[in-house]
Structure 1
Amino acid sequence: MSWLDRVRERLPFGNKRESPDNLWIKCPRCQEMVFRSEYEKNLSVCPNCDHHGRIGADTRLNQILDNNGYELLPPPRVTEDPLRFKDSKRYADRLKAARASNPHPDAFTAAIGTIEGHKAVVGVQDFTFMGGSMGMAVGDAFCNAAQRALDEKCGFICVTAAGGARMQEGILSLMQMPRATVMTRRLKEAGLPYIVVLADPTTGGVTASYAMLGDVQIAEPGALIGFAGQRVIQETIREQLPEGFQRAEYLHKHGMVDMVTHRKDLRATLAQLLDYLSPAKAA
């Protein structure tokens, strides 16, 4: 036995504790390692560079709605894989894989509750479910949530995060754009507030429809917002795009969004807007 082993036997050291693999998280912007507990306590915002991380539907609902509970709206039932689509993988298999790692059956989840006492329906698009892509289930969920807001005579808040329309559903996914647009018009005609929170990323057909039709457009800091990708635009117009193009701050500066709001201030901002835009105030 070596002298080091003998010393170890006498010292009051236990076995090396194994730390869980998810104890740390690496910020995608500043590349710094952050304690996961600290990161989550900070609403999934990096404490070093203020990067707003992507979060799931349940986390978002818990951050926005009051903690006295909320009611999840039932998910719609739609025809799955209507085109029997297959690329490198069958669409049915992609859906199965997405559902295996997600608590909800598709990319759009809605709930009704209160925000600092103001009744509201909140719909959240989850980028972790097939890139938040908009298919028939997302379209139905959006329309159902808007209809619930009409029935309850309360505001509708939509948090968007999507890569666009779901290509595996072809023209059926594109038809969700006018359907959702009609529902936003009905909310407007009823005098009910429709507020959009643009999270990272919001692109494609979602941007071209309900994501840009809010009475108030709120963007999270650094969120990517646009229709086509930057490379496609540059190749089309054959010009170099400016720094920060399609980011929330650039769009705010050029009048495309109304405000850029930090995640810690989002709930209070939404409550203030609901109070100001409520039908009682309008009357």
Structure 2
Amino acid sequence: MHLSRPARIALRLAAGLGFAVIYAPLLLVVVNSLNPDRSASWPPPGLTLHWWATAWDNSGARSALWVSLKAGLGATAIALVLGTLAAFAVARHRFFGRETVSFVLVLPIALPGIVTGIALNSAFGTVLRPLGVGLGLFTVVVGHATFCVVIVYNNVVARLRRTPGSYEEAAMDLGAHSLRAFADVTFPLVRPALLAGGLLAFALSFDEIVVTTFTAGPGVQTLPLWIFENMTRPRQAPVVSVVAVVLVALSVIPVYAAQRLSSDTAATSRV
């Protein structure tokens, strides 16, 4: 499609404005983390790494980071197992209600986080509390897994639908048993989708705050919760900016890696 010069200029200006709205606030947070003035005056009188050292010495921030890592890894592990099994069931088998199962699996990612959080909080209180299990890291992991499963499922089922089942049939025709056919043929083909889904699930869990608010018990504080609690404290503002930059960086890395893996998978499927 050929666009006139004014149309191209208008599209570039619109794209530039959109990127500015999205990324200018993030750049401002980075600048505030280096601002020597505690009140984040603008323009900053200079640059310093003092607040980065202060944030590293903050035991509350370090503890919250460790909790977020454990919750993200736990939720990702559950999502990889359940999401992969569900994807193989839906993509490789025909059964009554298959589309309904697929819809039910995808639904949690579309629900508002506050609805999911309230539902999980009520369910945990009804089922786990009589058993002596209260809200804590375990409930946070389970809560995050409910929507992380969707990410893994979508990635794996999309890859399986682009992979003909005849590959596995050919391997078994050549003498490979089903487990060997899976290990030598199927798994290498879906491995990029598994890695991409796992990375995206971890990133989604790592910065989740709404569901975490309803599923975390006393003493369990993830990094987003720590930021939310401390952002209104004036003396903590520079440290919060530093932690926010770290949170952005730890979220961008897996998303970028997942995007590259997804691109490589798509390119391989076209060959």
Q: TM range, normalised to the smaller chain? A: under 0.3
Q: TM-score scaled by structure 1?
A: 0.25
Q: Which has the higher helix share?
A: 2
Q: Which has the higher strand share?
A: 1
Higher relative contact order (CA 8 A, sep 6+): 2
Q: TM-score scaled by structure 2?
A: 0.26
